[in-house]
Amino acid sequence: MSEIAAGPRIALIHAVYVAMAPVEAAFSQRWPQAQRVNLVDDALPADLERDGQLTDTMRRRIRRLAEHAIDAGAEGVLFTCSAFGEAIGEAASVLPVPVLKPNEAMFEAALAAGQRIGMLATFAAAVVPMEAEFLAMARARGVEAALEVVCIPEALAAAKAGDLATHDRLHVEAAPRLAHCDAVMLAHFSNSRCCDAVQSVLPCPVLSAPDAAINVLRERLRLP
């Protein structure tokens, strides 16, 4: 217990409950000393689908969630919902501790793997902002990358209903559509649990967000 307590306090901010177990598993494996604190605003996805875009109200909510975590002693903040990257980036630019978007580290790894990148997503409202974020990163690095997305919303519905076997099976069935890519990303923390299963049916590397995000967070906190 003392070894775990010695680590920094890291706030994990979620918009869906199904993202919690995969990121907890990643921390347990890669950084067990971190003291994890979980915050959830599970109305965010429905509000985004209703409004069709990131609103000023949502941007304020994202910033206030991070501020609340920092006020409670967080030394780093990791958001786990991929649909709110732009708002998270805005918050990160003005807050005093590292605040990470869910997928920036995974995007870096994908761009290093090649130019034809695939992505398996389950939350349709996240796809457009993720595409924009990925392609903006590619342009900033002078990389001519193309992103092909396969969205399987029925997999997210299955996960929310507690049917993780169907969630995973749908990913495995959809994955071969991206077999021609140089790398395939799993768009959300919630579907990172499928990484090994998807990798078993693809010849290219399969990338998930939690492991990459933990590595970057440790780097920004200057920890080994």
User: Given this model, what pLDDT does residue 224 score?
Assistant: 61
pLDDT digits 0-9 by tens, 154-193: 999 999 999 999 999 999 999 999 999 999 999 998 899 9
* Residue in the block written with tokens 């906190």: 221
Give the predicted TM-score (pTM) of the model: 0.80
- Radius of gyration from C-alpha coordinates of the chain: 17
pLDDT digits 0-9 by tens, 207-224: 998 988 898 898 889 876
DSSP E strand stretches across the chain = 9-14, 35-40, 76-79, 99-100, 116-121, 146-151, 183-186, 206-207
Neighbours of 73 (CB within 10 A): 11
| pLDDT class of 4 with cuts at 50, 70, 90 | very low
Kindly state the average pLDDT of the residues 106-128: 94
Q: Give the sign of the dihedral formed by CA 61, CA 63, CA 68, CA 72.
A: positive
User: Given this model, what pLDDT does residue 93 score?
Assistant: 95
What are the φ/ψ torsions at residue 111 (nearest 5 degrees)?
Answer: -65, -30
**Could you give all domains of the chain from N- to C-terminal order, each with its CATH number?**
2-102+211-220 (3.40.50.1860), 104-209 (3.40.50.1860)
Picking from 27-31, 49-53, 82-86, which range would have the lowest pLDDT averaged per residue? 82-86
Output b/e per residue, 189-202; b: 16+ Cβ within 10 A.
bbbbbbbeebbeeb
The separation between CA 4 and the C-alpha centre of its own chain, rounded to angstroms, equals 24
Taking 60 as the threshold, does the pLDDT of residue 1 lie above it?
A: no
Q: Which two tokens stand for residue 3?
A: 């070894």
